[in-house]
Amino acid sequence: MNYGAIEAGGTKFVLAIGNKEGEILERKSIQTRDPKETMDEVISFFKEKDIRTLGLGCFGPLELNKGKEKYGYITSTPKEKWVNFDILGTLQKALNIPVSISTDVSCAALGEVTFGEFKNEPTLLYITIGTGIGGGYVIDGKIHNGMLHPELGHILVTKNPQDTYKGFCRFHENCLEGLAAGPANEGRTGLKGNEIPDSHESFEFIAKYIAEALMNYILVLSPTKIVLGGGVMDRSFIFLKIRENVLKLLNGYILTDELQDIEHYIVSPSLMNNSGIKGALALALKAETED
């Protein structure tokens, strides 16, 4: 018997059936509309399948504290129709199987340590740098949530005085997401993402912002592996700039084997664009053994 997996995003939902080995046997992408329409399609996809459990990696913020009344709800998202939507309850009720939920980015981290090249990495931080910036953290195979769940795209960075772009985050003047996610690059250059030449100085700015954030993540979380995914990171030259800046900023303050081999410390996702959906599959496997 197989397992179900959902990667629920703001523009599309990826639905998949997979097995214990992490193989995706069937996959379907559907467009994200309002909750009723979208969930009807999700449910009818899985209803026909014979699955033991379902894992759901979802856009947030989510309530992930099992003690709370709204456990499994999407809470204060800017996607208005989805505010306060009980996505976990809806799936559990309709499918009548165990469903396990986490953020999309935490699932991506879990996917990498469960089915990726970084299997059994003690502590892995996954960050996606795309239309937004988010991250998830897995410690000894377990997703870390804490009070809410990491929202590490919004940490503050030092604005480069030569960067005249004001940032697009409506909450914070100088947070990482507002200055370094895809829309920031477009806002700064006035060009569409794929039209911006590699040589544009915007990449210098964002590489430094991302490096400053990584320095802080390293000092706070001390991960043994950092994986950077998302559209912005598709340009591999940015990795070089980021690694260089991380070492410059740390300035020898911490010395570890990992930092000395930084090409293997700050890396691309080993599962390419499948970290998230495979992580949701890993979550489904956990749903079988955990309460």
Tell me, by CB under 8 A, how many residues bind a second copy.
45
Strands 2-8 and 12-18: antiparallel
Binding to a second copy, residues 109-148 (CB under 8 A): 122-123, 139, 144-148
Give least dist CB 107 to a second copy, A.
Answer: 16
Q: Nearest 5 degrees, angle CA 16-CA 57-CA 1? A: 40
Q: Give the closest residue to 80 by CA, choosing from 13, 132, 35, 130.
A: 35
Q: Is residue 221 part of the contact set for a second copy (CB under 8 A)?
A: yes
Q: At what angle do helices 87-95 and 35-47 cross, to 10 degrees?
A: 30
Q: Is residue 20 part of the contact set for a second copy (CB under 8 A)?
A: no
Which one among 224, 241, 247, 270 touches a second copy, defined by CB under 8 A? Answer: 224
Binding to a second copy, residues 243-262 (CB under 8 A): 249-256, 258
Give least dist CB 279 to a second copy, A.
Answer: 18
- Please give the distance of CA 284 from its chain centroid, rounded to a whole number: 17
Stretch near a second copy under the rule CB under 8 A, chosen from 14-22, 36-44, 217-225, 231-239: 217-225
Stretch near a second copy under the rule CB under 8 A, chosen from 14-22, 179-187, 208-216, 276-284: 208-216
Nearer to a second copy, 25 or 83 (CB): 83
Element (H, E) at 14: strand 12-18
Element (H, E) at 3: strand 2-8
Nearer to a second copy, 24 or 250 (CB): 250
Distance CA 17, CA 28 (A): 9
Q: For residue 15, list its beta bridge partners.
A: 6, 28
Stretch near a second copy under the rule CB under 8 A, chosen from 26-34, 83-91, 197-205, 214-222: 214-222
Give least dist CB 260 to a second copy, A.
Answer: 12
Distance CA 287, CA 283 (A): 6
Q: Give whole-number Cα distances, 272 to 14, 87, 198, 208, 212, in Å.
A: 15, 27, 21, 24, 24
Q: At what angle do helices 237-250 and 202-221 cross, to 10 degrees?
A: 50
Q: Is residue 160 part of the contact set for a second copy (CB under 8 A)?
A: no
Nearer to a second copy, 197 or 252 (CB): 252
Phi, psi of 126 (to 5 degrees): -110, 130
Convert residues 90-109 into a mask of x (bound to a second copy by CB under 8 A) and - (unbound): --------------------
Q: Which residues bind a second copy (CB under 8 A)?
A: 61, 75-76, 122-123, 139, 144-159, 171-172, 174, 212, 215-224, 249-256, 258
